[in-house]
């Protein structure tokens, strides 16, 4: 019997997975793993988080914590989301586990011993202030394509173009804001060209056996045709697997090198027999190896899994298990755009968990729209249709109508039929054939078509129920009704087994309702529900979603900017005077509509320098300040501080500016932003003066700022609780940080900020 080894691309740890990530790898692999177990194959499904590398270090700097803390936090988020979705990994591990370091270093040392590594000197940007080489993501500057000032040296987030360091205008270190210098450093490269002949032979064999899709083969062939280049495998970083060689102590292995070894190390963390899975030597065409490795990845990962990782394993000259089949999906888009955490667009794993919609409904929708051959789009309309018409209208209704009827008319006992008619036999045979087709499709990892085949079988059962009309025949022809209900109970039993890979919780519910233990694929067609069997109490499988509920979800996940755009026009800007103390603020003239709380990632605070202060021409209590911000930008801001501070107490001082406040006219002067003051109970007022130059961002501990925050209204700003505790400033309980240090005020020790 074949041993089936299943891996899902390891999700990168520093974010929350969205629905596209789920269907792309983890959920698709889960369906296949559940199917293989039901078929009786020895099955191992391995996944986990990919934790090392620059992106984690960057995130840690952003959130003001250590990389380990970032990984611990996001690992938990990933794990809990996948558990909620009923992902049945045998082990969900981590690449930051010590066992991973050991496996990665072992493979590295074998490659080194076999002469697969080259040493090269390269020039890399270096931050002299902190004494660190800078990965591309740590350098920002001006994009040569769109002029964005925040382009990273590897990619511009605004226009999406890939960049190199030399293309970037006015490069700055993200760590210190200084201009990096180019400095020489040495790196190790993996000489992939040495593996090319073996790879070609291996891929010829795969093509002959017809194992991979035409697309996957085409991508692999194009890489081989271009010839494999040496790839750098070391980095000047700290958060990674140390290079286990003398003279290389300050470098780590590049994350692309260690991440796929995670498949192996996570297996080794589960079982001592990991070699039976991973050193099965299936490279030769038609090799007798019993292990078949199925990889589930996104389409952008094909070259890596089809070429680079196998080339790396071949370089060790060990009989590694190579991929038998690669299932790659296209992308899932959201409504009319892309998923974006920072813009609040789309449904992310945590949103699904909190939606109140059961995991099986999400699973069904994602599997039925799985982007197998082209990009697919999530749409709430289609989500509603698939739930209401297919899951509930077809499968749920079949179960409910049949079992409730058995309870009400047969006291919950499946009748024993005297004889089955030709129609009954034809119905049972038809369902059996459909489910065999479903199994054939699942063997070939054609999940979407398999889902359709299952739904087709449920439709056939509904048609049979309708034609048999046991609600009539139970009185007119009881023998007929008994035979029909016996057949239906058995078909529902089989359908529960056949849908378990897609809908595990629903199948468990159907088994409870039938009063049976859910069997495996070999039980299908065996008429396991005998006459005289007592069924269990009925449960509702699914609840419908009406158009109003769907519209609510659509609006909720449409993105913050879009919602703000829709609000424009009707709503007037808040009437509270920016920069004023609460005591002096004019009262709101009319109660406004409730404002959604502003999430801190969208509150942009920056250190400003007050260049000049004047009295407002038309308002007694207002000053008009000119304030210098990042890149020399000068803003005019009005603040109601006249009763509290003299001009000379403000002029030339540093301050904290709410930078992304929507501009508003205050008595004829446009004010763009506000400055923050601390206020002690009883009225002592103090300008918050950070010890940092103008343009320095003010951050919230534990919060990753949105790189392009939307403009916010004054009412949204006031939903944030800004307080002073023991002289330090907090927003919603998150400490404010400047250059990584707590922002302190001098006189006020307890109070609020506005
Ligand atoms: Zn750009």
pLDDT above 60: residue 170:
yes
Distance CA 661, CA 589 (A): 21
Give the pLDDT of residue 288. Answer: 63
Report the separation in Å between the CA atom of 238 and the middle of ligand 1, taken as the mean of its atom positions: 29
Question: In the chain, how many H helices and how many E strands?
Answer: 25, 31
- List the single range of 14-18, 58-62, 535-539 with lowest mean pLDDT: 58-62
Report the separation in Å between the CA atom of 171 and the middle of ligand 1, taken as the mean of its atom positions: 14
Residue 404 parent element (H or E)? helix 397-410
Residues 6+ apart with CB under 8 A from 44: 3, 4, 5, 6, 90, 267, 270, 277
Report the separation in Å between the CA atom of 300 and the middle of ligand 1, taken as the mean of its atom positions: 21
pLDDT above 60: residue 487:
yes
For residue 532, which of 487, 486, 465, 480 has the smallest C-alpha distance? 486
Report the separation in Å between the CA atom of 166 and the middle of ligand 1, taken as the mean of its atom positions: 14
Average pLDDT, the chain: 89
pLDDT: which is higher, 618 or 17 = 17
Residue 564 C-alpha from the chain's centroid: 25
Give the pLDDT of residue 43. Answer: 97
Report the separation in Å between the CA atom of 139 and the middle of ligand 1, taken as the mean of its atom positions: 14
Helix (H, G, I), strand (E, B) or coil at 681: coil
Report the separation in Å between the CA atom of 253 and the middle of ligand 1, taken as the mean of its atom positions: 30
Pairing of strands 677-680, 234-235: unpaired
Report the separation in Å between the CA atom of 468 and the middle of ligand 1, taken as the mean of its atom positions: 65
Average pLDDT over residues 631-659: 86
Beta sheet of 132-133, edge-to-edge order: 132-133, 117-127, 181-190, 231-232
pLDDT above 90: residue 264:
yes
Candidates 3.40.50.300, 3.40.50.80, 1.10.730.10, 3.30.428.10; correct CATH number of 373-523?
Answer: 1.10.730.10
pLDDT, one tens digit per residue, over 209-221 is 888 888 889 889 9
pLDDT: which is higher, 595 or 268 = 268
Joined together, the tokens standing for residue 143 give 């994009």
pLDDT above 60: residue 551:
yes
In 590-726, DSSP assigns E strands to 605-615, 623-628, 634-639, 654-658, 664-666, 669-671, 674-675, 677-680, 685-687, 697-700, 722-725
Ion ligand 1: residues, CB within 5 A, are 143, 145-146, 148, 156, 158-159
Helix (H, G, I), strand (E, B) or coil at 186: strand
pLDDT above 50: residue 675:
yes
Q: Are 505 and 359 in contact (CB under 8 A)?
A: yes
Report the separation in Å between the CA atom of 459 and the middle of ligand 1, taken as the mean of its atom positions: 51
pLDDT above 80: residue 191:
yes
Architecture of domain 567-753: Beta Barrel (2.40)
Give the pLDDT of residue 580. Answer: 33
Report the separation in Å between the CA atom of 340 and the middle of ligand 1, taken as the mean of its atom positions: 18
Average pLDDT over residues 467-471: 94
291 bridge partner residues? 3
Q: Are 490 and 483 in contact (CB under 8 A)?
A: no
Joined together, the tokens standing for residue 642 give 């006249």
Report the separation in Å between the CA atom of 152 and the middle of ligand 1, taken as the mean of its atom positions: 9
626 bridge partner residues? 612, 636
Report the separation in Å between the CA atom of 164 and the middle of ligand 1, taken as the mean of its atom positions: 12
Say yes or no: domain 3-115+196-227+254-329 is CATH 1.10.10.10. no
Q: Could you identify the residue written with the tokens 């803390």?
A: 69
Distance CA 346, CA 367 (A): 17
User: What percent of the chain stands above pLDDT 90?
Assistant: 60
pLDDT, one tens digit per residue, over 343-360 is 778 899 999 999 999 999
Residues 6+ apart with CB under 8 A from 264: 103, 274, 278
Q: Using only C-alpha atoms, what is the Rg of the chain? A: 31
How many residues can be counted in the chain? 754
Distance CA 723, CA 283 (A): 64
pLDDT: which is higher, 622 or 530 = 530
Report the separation in Å between the CA atom of 456 and the middle of ligand 1, taken as the mean of its atom positions: 48
Give the pLDDT of residue 286. Answer: 66
Residue 377 parent element (H or E)? strand 376-378
Distance CA 479, CA 485 (A): 10
Residues 6+ apart with CB under 8 A from 438: 450, 453, 454, 457, 498
pLDDT above 80: residue 637:
yes
pLDDT, one tens digit per residue, over 101-151 is 999 999 999 999 999 999 999 898 998 987 788 888 789 999 999 999 989
Q: How confident is the model at residue 483 (pLDDT cuts 50, 70, 90)?
A: very high
pLDDT above 80: residue 369:
yes
Phi, psi angles (nearest 5°) of residue 144 = -70, -15
pLDDT, one tens digit per residue, over 303-335 is 899 999 999 999 999 999 999 999 998 889 898
DSSP label at residue 54: H
- List the single range of 263-267, 646-650, 697-701 with lowest mean pLDDT: 646-650
Question: Treating both helix axes as pointing N-terminal to C-terminal, what angle do 27-38 and 447-468 enclose, rounded to 10 degrees?
Answer: 60
Joined together, the tokens standing for residue 580 give 């004023």
Report the separation in Å between the CA atom of 462 and the middle of ligand 1, taken as the mean of its atom positions: 55
3-state SS track over 588-628: CCCCCCCCCCCCHHHCCEEEEEEEEEEECCCCCCCEEEEEE
Average pLDDT over residues 5-24: 91
Helix (H, G, I), strand (E, B) or coil at 738: strand
Q: Are 335 and 304 in contact (CB under 8 A)?
A: no
Report the separation in Å between the CA atom of 170 and the middle of ligand 1, taken as the mean of its atom positions: 14
pLDDT, one tens digit per residue, over 215-254 is 889 889 998 998 998 988 998 888 999 999 999 998 999 9
Q: Are 470 and 406 in contact (CB under 8 A)?
A: no
Helix (H, G, I), strand (E, B) or coil at 286: coil
pLDDT above 80: residue 593:
no
Report the separation in Å between the CA atom of 284 and the middle of ligand 1, taken as the mean of its atom positions: 46
Report the separation in Å between the CA atom of 156 and the middle of ligand 1, taken as the mean of its atom positions: 5
Q: Where in the chain are the domains?
A: 3-115+196-227+254-329, 373-523, 567-753
């Amino acid at each position: 019997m074949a041993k089936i080894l299943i891996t899902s691309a390891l999700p990168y740890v520093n974010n929350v997975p969205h629905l596209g990530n789920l269907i792309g790898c983890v959920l698709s692999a889960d369906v296949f793993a559940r199917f293989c177990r039901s078929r009786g194959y020895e099955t191992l499904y391995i996944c986990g988080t990919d934790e090392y590398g620059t992106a984690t270090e960057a995130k840690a700097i952003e959130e003001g914590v250590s990389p380990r803390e970032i990984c611990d936090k996001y690992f938990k988020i990933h794990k809990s989301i996948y558990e909620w979705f009923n992902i049945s990994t045998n082990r969900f591990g981590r690449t930051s586990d010590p066992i991973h370091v050991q496996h990665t270093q072992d493979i590295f040392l074998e490659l080194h011993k076999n002469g697969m590594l080259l040493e090269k000197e390269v020039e890399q940007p270096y931050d002299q202030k902190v004494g660190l080489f800078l990965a591309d993501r740590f350098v920002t500057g001006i994009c040569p394509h769109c002029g964005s000032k925040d382009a990273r040296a590897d990619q511009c987030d605004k226009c999406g173009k890939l960049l190199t360091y030399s293309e970037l205008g006015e490069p700055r270190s993200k760590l210190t804001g200084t201009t990096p210098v180019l400095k020489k450093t040495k790196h190790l490269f993996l000489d992939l060209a040495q593996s090319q002949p073996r790879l070609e032979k291996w891929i010829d064999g795969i093509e002959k056996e017809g194992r991979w899709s035409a697309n996957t083969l085409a991508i692999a062939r194009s890489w081989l045709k271009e010839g494999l280049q040496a790839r750098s495998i070391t980095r000047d970083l700290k958060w990674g697997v140390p290079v286990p060689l003398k003279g290389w102590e300050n470098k780590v292995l590049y994350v692309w090198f260690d991440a796929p070894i995670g498949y192996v190390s996570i297996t080794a963390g589960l079982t001592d027999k990991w070699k039976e899975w991973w050193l099965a030597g299936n490279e030769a065409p038609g090799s007798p190896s019993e292990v078949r490795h199925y990889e589930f990845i996104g389409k952008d990962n094909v070259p890596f899994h089809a070429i680079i990782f196998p080339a790396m394993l071949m370089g060790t000259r060990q009989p590694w298990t190579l991929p038998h089949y690669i299932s790659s999906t296209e992308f899932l888009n959201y409504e009319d755009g892309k998923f974006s955490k920072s813009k609040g667009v789309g449904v992310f794993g945590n949103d699904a968990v909190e939606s109140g919609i059961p995991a099986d409904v999400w699973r069904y929708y994602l599997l039925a729209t799985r982007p197998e051959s082209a990009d697919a789009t999530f749409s709430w309309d289609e989500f509603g249709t698939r739930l209401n018409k297919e899951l509930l209208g077809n499968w749920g209704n079949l179960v409910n109508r049949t079992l409730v009827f058995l309870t009400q008319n047969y006291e919950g006992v499946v009748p024993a039929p005297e004889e089955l008619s030709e129609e009954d036999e034809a119905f049972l045979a038809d369902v059996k054939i459909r489910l065999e087709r479903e199994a054939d499709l699942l063997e070939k990892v054609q999940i979407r078509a398999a889902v359709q085949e299952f739904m087709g079988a449920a439709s056939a059962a509904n048609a049979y129920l309708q034609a048999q009309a046991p609600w009539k025949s139970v009185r007119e022809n009881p023998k007929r009704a008994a035979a029909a209900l016996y057949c239906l109970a058995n078909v529902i039993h089989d359908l529960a087994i056949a849908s378990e890979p897609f809908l595990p919780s629903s199948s468990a519910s159907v088994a409870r309702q039938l009063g049976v233990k859910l069997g495996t694929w070999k039980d299908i067609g065996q008429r396991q529900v005998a006459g005289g069997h007592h069924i269990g109490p009925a449960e509702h499988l699914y609840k419908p979603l009406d158009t109003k509920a769907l519209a609510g979800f659509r609006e909720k996940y449409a993105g913050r900017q879009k919602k703000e755009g829709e609000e424009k026009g009707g709503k007037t800007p808040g009437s509270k005077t920016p920069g004023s103390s609460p005591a002096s603020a004019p009262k709101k003239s009319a109660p406004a509509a409730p404002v959604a709380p502003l999430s801190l990632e969208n509150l942009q605070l920056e250190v400003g320098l007050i260049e000049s202060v004047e009295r407002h021409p038309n308002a007694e209590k207002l000053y008009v300040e000119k304030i210098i911000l990042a890149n020399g930008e000068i803003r005019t801001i009005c603040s109601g501080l006249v009763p509290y501070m003299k001009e000379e107490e403000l002029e030339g001082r540093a301050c904290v500016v709410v930078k992304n406040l929507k501009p508003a006219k205050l008595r004829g002067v446009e004010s763009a932003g506000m400055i923050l003051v601390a206020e002690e109970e009883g009225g002592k007022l103090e300008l918050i003066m950070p010890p940092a130059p103008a343009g320095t961002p003010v951050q919230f501990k534990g919060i990753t700022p949105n790189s392009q925050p939307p403009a916010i209204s004054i009412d949204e700003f006031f939903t944030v609780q800004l307080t002073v505790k023991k002289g330090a400033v907090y927003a919603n309980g998150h400490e404010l940080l400047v250059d990584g240090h707590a922002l302190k005020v001098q006189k006020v020790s307890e109070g609020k900020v506005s």
